[in-house]
Structure 1
Amino acid sequence: MIRLTKKVFFDLAIWMIGLGLAMGVVFPFFMVLMGVPAQMVLTPWFFAACMGAGFVVGTANIGLARGVVGKRLRLLAERMRVVEGNLNHMAAGDGMEDCSPEDCYIAVDSSDEIGESAQAFNNLVGALAEAHQSEGAVSEFSRLLASQMELEALTEQALRQLMGHTRASAGALLVETEGELKMAASHGLRGPADLGQSDHVRAAMRTGQLQRVLLPPELTVEGVLADFKPREVLVEPVMYKSVPIGVIVLATGEAFDEKGLHRLELLRPGLALALNNGLAHERLQRLAALDPLTGIYNRRFGLARLQEEFGRAVRDSSPLGVVMFDLDHFKSVNDTYGHLVGDRVLVHMAKLARSVMREGDVLVRYGGEEFLAILPAASREDCRAVGERLRRLVQESAVRDGEQEIRITVSAGVAATPELTVDSPNDLVSQADQALYEAKDMGRNQVRIA
């Protein structure tokens, strides 16, 4: 329609009143065609009455349009001003607290263009709210992960956040360390340790692509993945600079919605950066804890572990033993063959000691050629047996230097609680050290018990 002014309702009034007046002019001729005598209707007074009626009808129509359409448009404008205010608050770093559905949404109570406009406005408000929530979620997720450097705490916190944002009922987070996928955190999964061998997990790591596993609702599997009957499982690789460093596994009793999948994609880059930092921190921690020559724990870290194990033994009233041992006549090895060969002997010694210890035992290079084995839940007799196995193994082995075989022996001292009454881990080590010196004084190549 041709625009006459810059005001739509004023244009509408002009057109409606004009149409009413035109109908008033045409109506008398229509009456003549209908058989009414011309002398009755083609009169100035009848023309004036018809045009007056057309004017009244046009005016009434514009009033109705303003009341029906204008009211909805004013409501739409009012809501738009509220959204504008919220957008300004968002730009200033505030939220959209004033734009709840009750405050901003418009009721869609018609199926015409007005209803379509209201629905489009509501969709716009919903998209803005979702964008703001997603931005806030990413910001909060990144902030929480940035506050954690320890890998265990970081992955536990990340998994809780991911499950909350995707409404998953169970999940796990695996990270790649030393060429293997290892479980870092899990919740609600049965047998999570086996996830690293899953074909879907391996495919995600190999391709770097999301794996979606939809399970038929009627399917029942013995030993199902989770403690509930999953409907869908997501296996999402975590990529850092195009290199997979971990895998997210999420399971739900219902299919994941697009909102959850979108939120997961937004959170994944922050998780990748945090995981990479956590793995780097763990590597640095491990390097700081290890003796660079033998690859076993150094004295500082070893004594810290002993403190932990001693505290656990006291709390649980469980045994704790230590074996202090060192190489006999090691100085003569260095003097005769040189320090490089001496280093090889120490490395050989550490490998033999690890071979006789259990998983969970702690081996420490205490100083020079002296080593300390920390044996949680081991009695004095258990510790003596470990020391004796090590002594025999060292005596029967040799380190080759060219054509020469360098044979060594070891002396050991054993101390254990509760057989010994000690007040601190230092007392326990002191008792084992004293037993070691007794073994040295009595001829070496033997194990003595404190």
Structure 2
Amino acid sequence: MTRVDSAKHSDTSILRPEQADVLNGDVDQQMLRISRIGKTLFDVANCVIRFGDTPPVSSDGGRSIEAIETAFCYSMPLQDEPVVAPDTRSHSPLGQHRAVTGAPYIRFYASHPVYNGDKALVGSINLVDYAPRPAFRERDIQLLADLAALVERELHLRLINASQLDLQKKNKNLRRKSLIDPLIGTWNRGAIMRILTIEAVRCDKAGVPLSLIVADLDFFKKINDTYGHPAGDTVLVKVASRLRSCIRPQEALGRYGGEEFLIVLPGSSHATAMAVAERMRLAIVSQPEVIAGTALNLTISAGVASTDLFPTATTEELISRADMALYAAKDAGRNRVVKATPDLS
């Protein structure tokens, strides 16, 4: 029988992260099921599934008989071949173990190695009992090997599941990145338009209004021409942050154009939308932004449109109405909010 270097093969690094919960003692229900199968199949006191060299922490401080049996199994060096001690008292070196010579007087022990997908030894499945088993034969060793294969299969399934979860997480992150404006961190044009479409359908079914705001940063070209595009980018980031602070979690802010923002307000009437737009205007104008040591007094103009006043309007028509109101605000001197009405042209 070949003994494997325990320090080399039972290192936690040979278990992949998704398998480490077992090694840390969080033996899940599937491992407990395999353990119960082993106890019933071999009619033994316990079937212990072991990973690594450190036994799991027992809630009773290791005083229970199950904790003692587990500690006994963990005290055995991991080996790359099955171990069978039909009578531990006549087996060297088990005959000198304190759990054999003293309480609880373990008289039978058998184990089979467990490997991970990389064929590295990571643990073992162990049988313990309190009566000798002289009739433990080759057929029983094969059954124990089958149980070990179940444990290895569970480790493999964990690896597959973890890989799938990791892939889903990466796909979700990639999808989110594809929807976020990389400069200012708001929804990009495609994303905010999709949100608008979804909310339009939802609000229509719920019988509640849908409002939107189109807001534009005044004199943005002058900022770019005077202070440079990096300064202009910084201004956009600052403005987006202020606008975001004015809306609720269920509302959405997106970059509709260069310095133009689209805000979707599901469930909001035109009066509420006007109040939100005015709050945004005040948030921008209330305090200058210091860019490259220069204080810039910023303002926005905004147009508001709502299904309150345009109940049959499509999302494109609603945006067009808000755009018309925005242009009216610009024509009226900027730094103001204008509501779209049926007679506004």
Q: TM-score, normalised by structure 2?
A: 0.55
| Structure number with higher relative contact order (C-alpha < 8 Å, ≥ 6 residues apart) | 2
Equivalent AA in structure 1 for residue 308 of structure 2: P
Q: Of 159, 162, 169, which aligns to 1:279?
A: 169
Q: Of 198, 204, 212, which aligns to 1:322?
A: 212
- What's the counterpart of residue 302 of structure 1? 192
2:270 matched to 1:374? no
CA distance in 2, matches of 1:436, 1:274: 47
- What's the counterpart of residue 273 of structure 2? 383
Equivalent AA in structure 1 for residue 219 of structure 2: H
Residue deviations 1:95-153 (CA, integer Å, cap 9, x gap): xxxxxxxxxxxxxxxxxxxxxxxxxxxxxxxxxxxxxxxxxxxxxxxxxxxxxxxxxxx
Residue deviations 1:46-102 (CA, integer Å, cap 9, x gap): xxxxxxxxxxxxxxxxxxxxxxxxxxxxxxxxxxxxxxxxxxxxxxxxxxxxxxxxx
2:190 matched to 1:268? no
- What's the counterpart of residue 424 of structure 1? 314
2:227 matched to 1:337? yes
Q: TM-score, normalised by structure 1?
A: 0.42
Equivalent AA in structure 2 for residue 278 of structure 1: Q
Higher helix share: 1
CA distance in 2, matches of 1:261, 1:306: 50
C-alpha deviation, 1:342, in angstroms: 0.4
Indicate how the Cα distance of structure 1 residues 262 and 385 shifts in structure 2: closer, same or farther if over 3 A, else same.
Answer: farther
Equivalent AA in structure 1 for residue 324 of structure 2: Q
The within-5 A match list for 1:142-161 is: none
How many residue pairs align between the two structures?
Answer: 203
Q: Of 433, 436, 439, which aligns to 2:326?
A: 436
Q: Of 401, 409, 420, which aligns to 2:299?
A: 409
- What's the counterpart of residue 349 of structure 1? 239
> Is there any run of 5+ residues in structure 2 with no aligned partner, and where?
1-19, 30-147, 341-345
Q: Secondary structure of the residue that 1:357 maps to in structure 2?
A: coil
Equivalent AA in structure 1 for residue 236 of structure 2: L
Are the aligned partners of 2:217 and 2:298 in contact in 1 as well (CA < 8 Å)? yes
Q: Of 182, 187, 209, which aligns to 1:292?
A: 182
C-alpha deviation, 1:402, in angstroms: 3.4
CA distance in 2, matches of 1:433, 1:272: 48
The within-5 A match list for 1:218-229 is: none
C-alpha deviation, 1:290, in angstroms: 0.8
> Is there any run of 5+ residues in structure 1 with no aligned partner, and where?
1-202, 213-257
Indicate how the Cα distance of structure 1 residues 439 and 208 shifts in structure 2: closer, same or farther if over 3 A, else same.
Answer: farther
Are the aligned partners of 1:422 and 1:428 in contact in 2 as well (CA < 8 Å)? no
Are the aligned partners of 2:22 and 2:28 in contact in 1 as well (CA < 8 Å)? no
Are the aligned partners of 1:384 and 1:449 in contact in 2 as well (CA < 8 Å)? yes
C-alpha deviation, 1:416, in angstroms: 1.0
C-alpha deviation, 1:423, in angstroms: 3.2
CA distance in 2, matches of 1:281, 1:211: 28
Q: Percent identical across equivalent pairs? A: 39
Are the aligned partners of 2:231 and 2:292 in contact in 1 as well (CA < 8 Å)? no
